[in-house]
Structure 1
Amino acid sequence: MNNSPHTVLPGKIPQISLGSWAFSFGPFADAPWSFDRFCDYAADAHYDGVEINGFRPHPHDEDFSVSAARALGSAIRDRGLGISGYAPDLTATPPGVAAEAEYLARIDSIARFCVAAGIDLVRVDTITPPPGPGDPAAAYPALVRTWGAAAERLAKDGLRLVWEYEPGFWLNRPSEILRLLDDVASDNFAVMFDTSHSHTIAAYGRRQGPDTEILPDGAPGLARLLAGRVGALHLIDSDGSLHDDETSSHLPFGTGDLDFAAVLAPIRDDVLLLPWWTVDYCFWRETIRDAREAVPVVAAIRDNLVRTKGIEAG
């Protein structure tokens, strides 16, 4: 198995994108920003790109013809922005629960949209809350088959599949994350390492039930376990708490517990090969202010990681 999810040209460093869910979930749910307004904000705040939330009113793949998806991609690029990935709305077809054919039909629709819009990464999750479906032991093999088939279908179109594990979704223990990666066993299937989720899972064991699985050094320990298997990166701070007792709180940089240099050091070789690092504000009321201020912070984290690699190489 190829341990590196992908490679980039020598001398390239990751660009910085912003996820559009920041302005459509949580405190923005009653009056979500239009996707155009979001893209204008991202460009004005000096992001290099955007990551598309596939939940309406933001672009849902089933609402777009091929020509409309091409026009969407062009409109984003005309603002000087790239697209780091697509997070589709698959809530009606939870993997391992929905029929495989039904899930793969959605994957085919997503692939058509992404290819036309110029997107090369698709983000998924298990959707089902912990501890899982009615019979997790029966659903697990179906999940493995479904995601394995989805990864292979997407690979044919040059699209990468990444799984974002979260405390609020089934399979939220370090051992479960590793097991699923091993069982899917596709070169086109990797994890999305979200710094907040990783901290909340590995340092606090949130929503794992009474017998928590905590790593002694938290998120850096989980990063060590996942080295070589990281296909995407979401960055945001965390204090280990949950938002509405569901999933990780996503806090402004500098207001949580995370030492980003320590968290990213074990996966440095993975994340410096990524074309994008995505800033992940979610459920945060002051995103308008704080997402703008995040750009230089993330650039400094990235540039410091590049320097440490250069120092060691020298």
Structure 2
Amino acid sequence: MKKLSIFTAILFALTMFSCTEDSDDPLVIPTYDNTYILTFETGKTSLEHLDTAYVYTPDVYTSLNGDALSMHNFNDKLYLVNQSGPNFITQLNDETLQEDRVVATSEMDNPSNLLMYSEDNGLVVGSSGSGRRKKYLLAHVDMNTGISEAIDDISEDMLPSNSALLLDNNNVLIADGNELKAMDILSKEISVLHEFSETISGIVRDADDVIWIATEKRTEKASFVKLNADYSIAETVTVEDESVNLYKNSILIMSKNSYYAYWSESNSGKIYRFNTSTKTLEEFCTPLFDGVMLTTLVKEHPLTKKVYVLGLEDYFDTEKSVLSIYNEDNSLFKTIKEVGNSPIDIFFSDKAYIAQ
């Protein structure tokens, strides 16, 4: 029953992960030599480690905070977000993984996905209820005082994913149901930029610093909408492939310095990618053929451009985890089994790992 309970929680968590990264010195060429894998476990948080030779080391960081769902990187700090305490947000040193700060109070239930826009302040997605009555909310984060109540200007249809929030200069773009909103980080005022006919499935930014909005297929076809610098719509690319739904639980993500947005189709389990430069879409791989029964994350490495697909070999055994790594040309590069219990997120670090 315990494994089944964790499995159910993972299904919920599939719409809530993918580590976001911000802030790089343009004069420094990052190497991204260290890969961290976050596990989703009741009553425990664990980070696993892969080096450049893909040597796996378990439990390089552990805590008693339960139900970890995502990681976020901002200004050389790594943040872990937990749905249950005692700490809901933990700030780690990027190199030593030592705890620097924690947030132990939250007025919003089940915090899941974080975006920091300053050393002290950010936004976090949360949820309440269950099943069809589940509500997805947004709250302010203050690292000194905690997580606030849900923001009134945001509906209960927030996209439960890190691709719901994107920092752009003094604005945070927010995917709120079918509305694209912007919050001024200075005044905290929220405005509606666009209302789409379908639900937003993600906000991404490509290597040219162009922002794209993905919308899912329901009554209308799925689409990618290109924005101008002033957030007006520059172009809409309609997805003509009828098998592509781009649902909001598709774990859409785009890595730094990339032109590819990747996602997992929830119906078929296939991985697709959209090239924002050529404006073309292609089926990338089918992880099921390579032993990944349930995909929990797909993410492109920012330097090697290899694509990491994280998941489980068995729906009902969370210990049978697997990481399949693909080359940019779709070929399978490597499969690594047993990469932690219920792996849920990956962070590619450009900092040295200094074991303590």
| Higher helix fraction (1 or 2) | 1
Is the pair's TM-score, using the shorter chain for normalization, greater than 0.5?
no
State the TM-score, normalizing by the size of structure 1. Answer: 0.35
State the TM-score, normalizing by the size of structure 2. Answer: 0.32
